[in-house]
Amino acid sequence: MASMIESASTTASSATHQSQAEARAASSMPDITQLSLEHNPDIFTIICCNDTFQLALDLNTIKTLLLVCKRVRPLLSSKLPRFNSWCWKAGLCSPNGQLRIGLMPSDQIALSLHCEDPNSANRSWLVTLAEQGNAVASYFLARILQVELAIDQYLEKSEQQAIRQRIFRHLEIAANTNHTMAQFHLAECYRNGLGVNQDHTKAAELYRRLADRGIPHAQVVLGRCYESGEGVDHDYNTAIKLYSKAADQGGEDGRLHIVFLQAWFSFLGHGVEQSDEIAFNHWQEVSTKSTDPIIKPIATHMVGWMHYLGRGTQLDKQKGIKIIRDNESDEFKLGEAMSWVGSWAPSDSRISRKLFQLCQLKSDRDWLCMHLMAVYLFNGYGTTKDEEKAACIFEQLAIHGHSDSQYWIGLCYRSGRGVSKDEQKAFEWFCKSADQDNSYGQWMVGVCYSHGHGVTKDYIKAVEWYRKSAEQGNRYGQDYFGDCYEFGWGVPVNIDTAVFWWRKSAKQSYNWAIKRLNELGLWP
């Protein structure tokens, strides 16, 4: 495993290897300067029909090459702009004029031959073309429907399913003619069960065919399949080999997937020497450079934890918490509330399953991975919900002195989730966490004193703990500390001081503090 990681790293980053790859590519292509294009019609075929060639060059470069050939000059000078105008009219372009739908240059040229009215958004010509068996038209229609489906959020489920089935049929028709991008998106349909029954094995087969043809995107996705064991046997080594192939072709996505795995292997000492610093730096690189919707948020989440714990980087709890909070999204629910407050946010998404799987990778070597596994089990995030197993892990880690786990097992006893409800035990664990300067533990000790949960009610002591939490920047502690000054709980009533602390909490986007300030007309 260690040699595989080192090899992958070298392959992904070596300029020498890149030069060699370019040299190999150049040697396999005809020297255009030495050929007479007027007497070598195969040049047109090479440029228009070879997917690998097209992936290596942008459309403008290919247009420049094609202009040399007299046969296609009229096509490039008139038909292609008409098609581009139609796409703009049909709302298929982004504000900068780029087509939102990925089309190969040959696809654009082929479609432009049939587009006669650039001033109309009517797509009947495209439908007719697809009905006549034109694979490119079928693929383009499928992609248009995918864009429209993503935009329209108010369709009934039955309508959405009908559209997905149409998308699948169009892609299948195009894929059967060996249309590369159609095969790629068809594999996505099988992988995600969109318009067809989910079939990871079929998806992996389609990705493999494309990966074997040297398509970098397919190599990366097939690598993910091997990482997660979807449709193939779980195998990190094969995943890294596939990512390396993509990286060899200049694919940044493949390189960053390798960096992402290196981070986890370094963090856990899995096949390499354990190093928090290397793990942090790798996660930081993926967080800042990747656009991948799965590995980027996971890496960012781990960067937050490293700042919060001071592992591999300088200790900065507030910075870590903010990173984790800001990283939360509809796709990635693992924000501050789920990580510390104990909110219930079940998820069986691919991203949640991947994160749980990574934490399972020799999790016994690191308490944080065990703690995160327990959080996911408690919430049903990426795995089957199991509160009893989660509580068992929390208590085991709490006994070993980890303040975040002490806080969590306190939550379990307080709510009776995973263990029998016991407010006194909850209070005891919150106190252990608070005594280690855990701001969430301090906040919850204050809550216990405020309400008499597991201890005699004592507002003065509650205020002491709220203050400690608030002064550490905990937005929950700040809001509750402000409440004390509003109602005179343990301190004299002072609305100005209450507003001061509510503002601090509100600036961290805590809704209850914002609500109080709104009621007073003091927000924003």
Structural domains in the chain, CATH included, are 437-524 (1.25.40.10)
Q: Does an H or E element contain 325, and which?
A: helix 317-327
- Quick one: the chain helix, strand, coil %, rounded to 5? 70, 0, 30
3-state secondary structure of 208: helix
Backbone angles phi and psi of 99, in degrees to 5: -70, 130
Region label for 198, one of left (φ > 0), alpha (ψ between -120 and 50) or beta (otherwise): beta
Looking at residue 50, its pLDDT comes to: 57
Closest CA to 294 of 339, 326, 253: 253
Looking at residue 76, its pLDDT comes to: 54
Residue 500 near residue 515, CB atoms below 8 Å? no
pTM for the structure as a whole: 0.79
Looking at residue 38, its pLDDT comes to: 40
Looking at residue 349, its pLDDT comes to: 87
Looking at residue 75, its pLDDT comes to: 53
Instruction: Answer whether the bond into residue 95 is a cis peptide, omega within 30°.
Output: no
Residue 353 near residue 360, CB atoms below 8 Å? no
Looking at residue 21, its pLDDT comes to: 42
Looking at residue 27, its pLDDT comes to: 41
* Positions in the chain whose pLDDT score sits under 50: 2-3, 9-42
Residue 49 CA to residue 26 CA, distance in Å, equals: 18
CA quadruple 256, 261, 267, 273: dihedral positive or negative? negative
Q: Where are the alpha helices (DSSP H) in 348-474?
A: 350-360, 367-379, 387-399, 403-415, 423-434, 439-451, 459-471
